[in-house]
Each structure stands twice: as structure tokens, then as C-alpha cells.
A and B are shown apart, each in its own frame.
Chain A
Amino acid sequence: MGPREKLALRYVLTAVFWLGVAGIEGMLMRLRLIDLFTDIYVPEHFYSMMTVHPYVGIYGWAYMAVMGAFYYLVPKVLNKELYSERVANLSYWVMTLGVLITWLSGFLFNFAALYTLYWPLPVERFPPTSILVFSIGTIMIFSSVLMFFFNMFATIFLPSRDAGGAGYVAKELLTLAFNIDKIKAVGKGIKNYLPKVYAYPVFIVGVFRGCVDTTLNALTMAAISVLLGVYSLAGLANINLPATLVDPLIYKNVFWWGLDLIADGNVLIFTAATWYFLTPVLVGRKLYGEQVVRTVILADLVLSLFVWNHHMLADTPQPLILQIQGQIFTWGELITMGLTMFAVLMTIWLARPVKYSTPLKFMILSILGYAIGGSAGIMQANYALNRYLHNTQWVIGIHGHVQLLAGLSLTLFAVIYAVAPMITGKELDPKLADIHLILFFAGAIIMGLSMGLAGVDGMLRRTLYFNGEYLPYMLGAAVGGAMMALGFLVFLLNFVRTYGFKAIIIAFKD
């Protein structure tokens, strides 16, 4: 196993560890919502767990899995060396420690401002020490993300290790990400100009266009973490820094603009790129509509810059015109995601008869997961319907968790099942993989639907109920969560049975 394979394996194993942690947290919260352990999970504890849960799930699991996969696949697809293995190793440790410190801010210091961090909640309600620990953890997370993207951009755009500096990479990136060369050519009246982006495989186009969103996201979120850090340091030094220095509505706009770049940009683009990579490999046929999907990825990138207003539909001081704009642009995602799914399904259709291998099964159900979760998202992102659905369990259950678990996580597992044999030369047991898939997918849908239907009946997210309200729905959600946990354990069993603990030791040995 070479250094790049070891690096990828280390990232993926750590990602799986964090998925386990996020799963334990999720199950503990599920148990609390069916009125168990009420003495242990007092609100302070419950909400601090709810605060760190998405950081562990998104950055610990999803980001680290994506980083591991892309560190392996991008150089392989381009037949190039990774720009810097040292930076890749550094970003691994910074991310791992960052997620750990963020988790500790909740576990040890009860920081519980939730991932939304609406101003001025963090600085009004929580002690400076807990804010400081949280901001250090998140600054490390976003620093690691920026290191990763620097490494990706440099690997993709530099012809060789010493070919140019950051300026060259940035220029190439902007030119290719937004088809600037094509715009210039049109301006000069050049007909039939083929943009430079066509020189790159469609998977790579998805990687660097998705990376644009995530870089902007990391910069925005890091700035918010720095702001929290400044207020916490002022608090520790007994300097009175009024919370009114920051406008809550402007802050909320900036926050959602930055955050939505991953929720509605990067996730969709990276997922599309991964499907575009996997499908031809798994069915042995060129991707259908390959030329068109590049444009679809560009459309996704542009749309993602303008959809944050669908998070502000319940804010009556927000200008109405922006809210309607947010709604209409969000429907654009139905079109781009619809075209993405069409390209993938047509590729499979044209390759029939198809043997449904383990990764292909995971991928096709991830498409179903995105369709189910995405449709719920489109509904809640409307000005009128948001009045009834905002902040209910609908948003986080049927949309959020189905999208992340049945959509994104199954895509990531598809990559793991496809790439693990490339790295180790050995396939994971397909029968155990089937059990993993069925339990995980069915569990995610049962949990998401139970939560969503509770939301229709008025159950709020981020809210503890004390009189047994919505209990039948929460029992259904707990059963779904338990099925997913069981599926995850089957995956772990499969991994250990196939590769043994030796693979884990090798991945962490220099």
C-alpha cells in the first residue's frame, strides 16, 4: 500500500469513526425524545449534544470521507502526483483535532448555541470559555478544509510541482470554474469556441467547481468563528464588547449565504461528480450527456450563490423580493438535480443489462434518497408553505436527515465499497453489504418520515417536549435510528472480517 492509499484509508477510517460518534449522539437524542434518560439528558446537555452533532456528522464523517476519496481519486484520474502529501497529512490532523475540540466544547463546556449560531445567542447565553473552545475547534475545521482545497486546486491546475504559484492556480480556477474564457471568446465574437474546461474529465470539473463553494463556505464560517473568538477573549479579559455591534439580520444573511454554499452547492455538486465518476466505472459505459452535465454543474455553482434566502422566509423584516427570489432560485435546483439524475439513470439504462454490484446498489438508492429528501426541501423552501413548515421536524427529518443519510451517506458508502478494493485488492462481502444497505436506507427513510410527519402535526425541531407529545412519531424515528445503527455495525463487521485490524494499523503507521 503506497502513501496515497494509506492517506486515503486513514481519512476514511477516521470518517467512519466520526459517523459512529454522530450515530451514538443521534440515538441518545432519539431515546431522550421518547422520554428515556430524562434525568441524565437535562436540556443543557441535550442541546449541547444537538450543537456538536452536525459538526461531527458533516465535518467528521462527510468531509473526511470526501477528503480521503478525493485525495486518492483526483491524482489517479489525472494521472498526476498529489501536490503536497505533507499538507494532506497536516489537514488530516487539523481536522481530526478540530472536530474533537468542537465536540469537547459541548461535552465538557456545555456550549449549546446550535449550528445556527444566531447572533447574539452565543455571546448572550454562554460563558466565554465555552465559546472560545468552540471557536478554536471550528477555526481548525475550516483551516483544514482550506488546506484541502488548496491542495486540490494545486493538484488539478498546476502542470507540474514547480509550474506556478497561488496566483496562477487562482487564475486558472476562476477561468475554468465560471467559463470566463468562453465569456471572453463570445465577447470577442469568436464562434464555436470550446472552453478550457472541456480538457478536464467531468469528475474533476465537479471537484473544482464544488471546491469553489466550499472554499467560500469555509472562509465565511471561519470569519464567524473568529468573531466568536474575539467576543470570548473580550469576555475573558472583562472588556465590554456590546453584542449590538453586530446586526442580527445582516449576520443571519451572511451566515446562511455561507452555510448554504455547502448545503445547496457543494453537497449537490460533489454528489453529482461522484455519480458521474462511479456510474461509467460500474456499468462500463461512457456517461450519457457528458457535455451537458458540465454546464449543469456550472448552473449548480451559480445557483448555490443565490439560494440562501430560502432560510429567511420566516423573517418578516427580510425584504419580500429577496424571499421570492430565494424561492424561485431554489426551484432551479430541482432542474439541475433532475438533469443530474437523468444523466446517471440514462447511462445505466443504455448499459442494460446491468449487474447491480454493491457500489451501484448503494448509488441507485442514494439517488432515491436525494429524490425523497430533495422534494421535501423544495416544498419547505416556498414563501407560503414555509409559514407552516419552518423549524418543524419536517425540515430536519424528511429533508435534512433523509438527504444526508439516505442521499449523501449512501453515496459515500458507494465510494468506499468501490474504492476499498482498488486500494486493498480485496472486495467487501456483498451479502453483508446488502444487509448494511437495506437496514441503513430503510432506517433513514423510516426515521425521516416519522420526524417529518410529526412536523406536519406541529412538532418543532430543536425543542424538547415534556408531556409525551408526538411520542408515537418519535418511537417510529427511534426504530429507524436503531435500524441504521444496526446497518452501520454490519458494515464495521464486514470491514473487520475482510481486512482485519491489520489494515487499520497499516493506515496509521508511517
Chain B
Amino acid sequence: MYIQQVVEMFYLTLVAIYIVFIISFIYVTSRGKPSKMATDGGEEEHRGMDKAEKTWFAILITIAIIGNALLLSPLIPSANMALWTKAEPMQTYTITIEDYQFHLPEKPMRVAAGVPVEFVVLSNDVTYGFGVFREDGSLVFQMQVVPGYENKIVWIFDEPGVYTIRSTEYSGPEHSSMVVYDAIVVEEGG
């Protein structure tokens, strides 16, 4: 299962929880008995948070800390490669883009699965994107290609196969045609 699909499942579960919560909330608040708490706002004369608010605040802080820790952890492949393993690339491919055209050093570019490979992508005119896609159209990874800068990414392919390159950033009306099928062939690792 790709990481995007895990995100999708988690997100759809969240959406379902939100919808059930709001429907229940509307049901209860439209039919419930009057609150026992004061209705003149008297309980809010103090300037700090009350107990319920403090609890909710603590829950939110906890979610934020866990969320950040989890998403920066080696569990996420892109975080693992960029922040944790920092593997030295065994191969480097330099690609140039100009006037909506990818200029590849060779086609296809052959890499081995499980081996770090570096892509250096340069733009000679405007901002583009460099995205690598599987045969089913799902995205493996991407980066922006800013002109005047060396845009570099190291990636470890975990599945052998044939991959497509597509510009992931709009670069003008002909941007949609910026696709190179069968641009990368990933072979069984050595």
C-alpha cells in the first residue's frame, strides 16, 4: 500500500467521525435539556481557561506533538530518506528543462531498486516540477524545479518497474504536454 493510500484511509475515517459528531451534536443540542451552567455568562468572568477548555487545549497540543513526531519519523519513506538515512547516492542523473522540454542524459535512465539515486534538475527558463509516476499513474515523489538553482533529490526506488516523468508545476499553456513515458527503468537491486 502506498503512503498516499494510508493517508486517504486515515482522512476518510476522520471525515466520517466529523460528520457523525456534527449530526449527533445538532440532534442533542436541539432536543437537550437546558444547561445547568449559568446562562448569563457569569461562569466566564474569570479571564483564564475553564477546565473543559484546558482539557481540550491539552488534547490539541498532544495531537500536534504526536502528529509532528510521527510525520517527521522514519516511518514515512520521504522523511526517512531526507532526514534519517541520508544515504550517499550511488548514481546521479542531471536533467535539464527548457521551453517545456525535458532533456534527459539517457532514455531510459536505468537504476537499481534499493539503491540511492540522485536527480539533479535544472531549469533554463521558468519554474517547472519534476515528478516520477508509476505505471498506474500514482506519484512516487516530486520536487519543484526553480530556475537558477540546483534542484536535487535523492530517492531509493523500492519496486522494479517502468516509471514516467511529468512536470508537476504549471509552466505555461503547454505544460500539460510535459510528460516522458518510460523515462526511468528500475531493475532488481544488486
Q: Chain A residues in contact with chain B, CB under 8 A?
A: 43-44, 47, 112, 114, 116, 118-121, 124-125, 244, 247-249, 252, 285-292, 314-317, 320, 324, 327-328, 331-332, 334-335, 338-339, 342-343, 345-346, 348-356, 364-365, 367-368, 371-372, 375-376, 378-379, 382-385, 387-392, 398, 449, 452-453, 456-460, 462-466, 469-470
Contact = CB atoms under 8 A, between A and B. Distances in A.
B160 interface: no
25 contacts: A47-B175, A120-B147, A125-B126, A244-B148, A249-B146, A288-B44, A289-B44, A327-B68, A338-B60, A346-B53, A350-B35, A351-B39, A352-B32, A352-B34, A353-B32, A353-B33, A353-B34, A372-B15, A382-B67, A383-B83, A384-B77, A385-B7, A388-B141, A388-B142, A462-B169
B148 A354 contact: no
Given A43-B176, A338-B60, A118 B53 contact: no
Given A348-B29, A353-B34, A339 B67 contact: no
A102 to B, nearest CB: 18
Q: Which of B18, B67, B127 has the most CB of A within 10 A?
A: B127
B7 A389 contact: yes
Query: What is the predominant secondary structure among interface residues of chain B facing chain A?
Result: mixed
Interface size class of B (residues with CB under 8 A): 35 or more
B50 A289 contact: yes
Contact of A317 (B46, B47, B150, B176): B150
Contacts of A353: 29-34
B56 A390 contact: no
Given A327-B68, A384-B76, A391-B129, A350 B142 contact: no
Interface stretch (B20-28, B87-95, B108-116, B182-190): B20-28
B18 A124 contact: no
A114 B44 CA distance: 47
Contact of A331 (B7, B67, B147): B67
Given A384-B72, A460-B168, A332 B174 contact: no
Nearest to A48: B173
Contacts of A368: 18-19, 22
Contact of A385 (B53, B71, B171): B71
B64 A331 contact: yes
Given A248-B149, A388-B3, A458-B139, 5 more contacts: A331-B64, A364-B22, A368-B22, A382-B67, A383-B72
Contact of A390 (B64, B142, B152): B142
